[in-house]
Structure 1
Amino acid sequence: MIRREKIDLHPVENESQSDPDADLLRRVAAGDEVAMRALVAAKLPRLLALAQRMLGDRAEAEDVAQETFLRIWKQASRWQTGRAKFDSWAHRVALNLCYDRLRKRRDVITDDLPEQIDPGPLPDAGLTENSDSRRVELALQNLAPRQREAIILVYYQELSNREAASVMAVSVDALESLLSRGRRMLQSLLLGDGDDE
């Protein structure tokens, strides 16, 4: 079961390290729209990238990012500095929203079969995307969700193992196990794809 953003995340290990977002978040909690715009400008690229990698769809990722910031705006006054870093909480909110969307995809039942889409690349795909990076993105989508989440948080979002474990609400050892399995599966998928060409 995935935990919701209202949970207490693991306390920050060294409380003398202040949360770099604390002042901005206090201003957002007071209703400061300029502070909210600054927070969106600072966090949007990373949260959007996280959602796009989790969902594999830009439009859905934009919806997740928007909903994440809406929740931040509404819940900023309840934020307690020192319990966990704000960035960790924001990542958890975005991940929960991604998992909600992934569940809805899986739960959709219909009598009509969807129109089959050609799985091949679009004619202009080579003009806009690097084929290796596209292969990695497709391989990421084929990982187990928790492995994908761990890899995205550590390698793409550049969170430390401790921060990523906190976001995922797992121990550092469990995170490292997910990373190890995820890397092996990625390697298998990418080498397997290479053999088919």
Structure 2
Amino acid sequence: MANVFDPDEDLVLRVGRGEAAAVRQLAGLKLPRVLALARRMLGDPIEAEDVAQEAMLRAWRQAPKWKPGKARFDTWLHRVALNLCYDRLRRRREIVTDTPPDRPDDGPAPDRGLLSAETGARVDAALALLPARQREAIVLCHYQELTNIEAAALMEVSVEALESLLSRGRRALRQSLADLADDRGADR
């Protein structure tokens, strides 16, 4: 396998040597994106924080053993976070309770800026209803801003398969949120 350019290589090697400044820098760079990914996948900010912390802990533990050139560190970290999210989602399906869980805050996410709280909640709800692989593809490409090639590699599918997942996910979101588009058209 050819060596892969990794912009994080030096930083990860420094973390592996135990440099405190490098650990802080890595956390500052990666934690917000991992947290956003987990929040989008899980829809629960508390669980998302737990996943993000666990992913960063694994990154810190893996850093001394990291072998540059095989894959980008960022890709590996996203895969770890996604696996942790899927573990949590599987556990949710397995737990049957008599009382409904507490509802997450329906307020707008900080990255939503101009969208209203209601619209943000509707988009989150529609995203949560997508099949897991479609949701994963949309989160990675649209929210995490990975390229199709990066997202396909992370999901271990071909670019064509990723594009199919994106297409089906977008179509389902458009159908779920059609009334929002109609309302915006009426406002103009």
What band does the TM-score fall into relative to the shorter chain? Answer: 0.7 to 0.9
Q: What is the CA distance between 1:173 and its match in structure 2?
A: 1.0
Q: Summarize the Cα distance change of 1:192–1:116 in structure 2 as closer, same or farther, 3 Å threshold.
A: farther
Please tell me whether residue 191 in structure 1 is matched to residue 178 in structure 2: yes
What residue number does 1:114 align with? 99
What residue number does 2:92 align with? 105
Alignment of 1:25-64 (within 5 A): 25-64=12-51
Unpaired runs of at least 5, structure 2 = 111-115, 183-188
Deviations 1:55-113 (A, max 9, x none): 00111100000000110111112222111111111100000000000000001134xx2
Alignment of 1:46-85 (within 5 A): 46-85=33-72
Identity %: 56
How many residues of Structure 1 are paired with residues of Structure 2 in the alignment? 176
Give the TM-score normalised by structure 1: 0.81
For 1:114, the aligned partner's letter is: T
Root-mean-square deviation (Å): 2.5
Q: Distance in 1 between matches of 2:89 and 2:32?
A: 21
Q: Distance in 2 between matches of 1:190 and 1:179?
A: 16
Q: Distance in 1 between matches of 2:67 and 2:100?
A: 49
Secondary structure in 1 matching 2:7: coil
For 2:29, the aligned partner's letter is: A
Deviations 1:88-140 (A, max 9, x none): 11100000000000000001134xx2148789x97xx58x9532222111111
For 1:163, the aligned partner's letter is: E
For 1:148, the aligned partner's letter is: R
Secondary structure in 2 matching 1:38: helix
For 1:101, the aligned partner's letter is: R
Question: Which shifted more, 77-86 or 92-101?
Answer: 77-86
Q: Summarize the Cα distance change of 1:135–1:147 in structure 2 as closer, same or farther, 3 Å threshold.
A: same
Q: What is the CA distance between 1:152 and its match in structure 2?
A: 0.4
What residue number does 1:21 align with? 8
Higher RCO structure (Cα 8 Å, ≥6 apart)? 1
Q: Distance in 2 between matches of 1:82 and 1:26?
A: 12
- Match for 2:164 among 166, 169, 177? 177
Q: Distance in 2 between matches of 1:20 and 1:118?
A: 39
Please tell me whether residue 144 in structure 1 is matched to residue 155 in structure 2: no
Q: What is the CA distance between 1:170 and its match in structure 2?
A: 1.0
What residue number does 2:146 align with? 159
Q: Distance in 2 between matches of 1:180 and 1:164?
A: 14
Give the TM-score normalised by structure 2: 0.84
Q: Which runs of 4+ in 1 moved over 3 A?
A: 115-119, 192-195
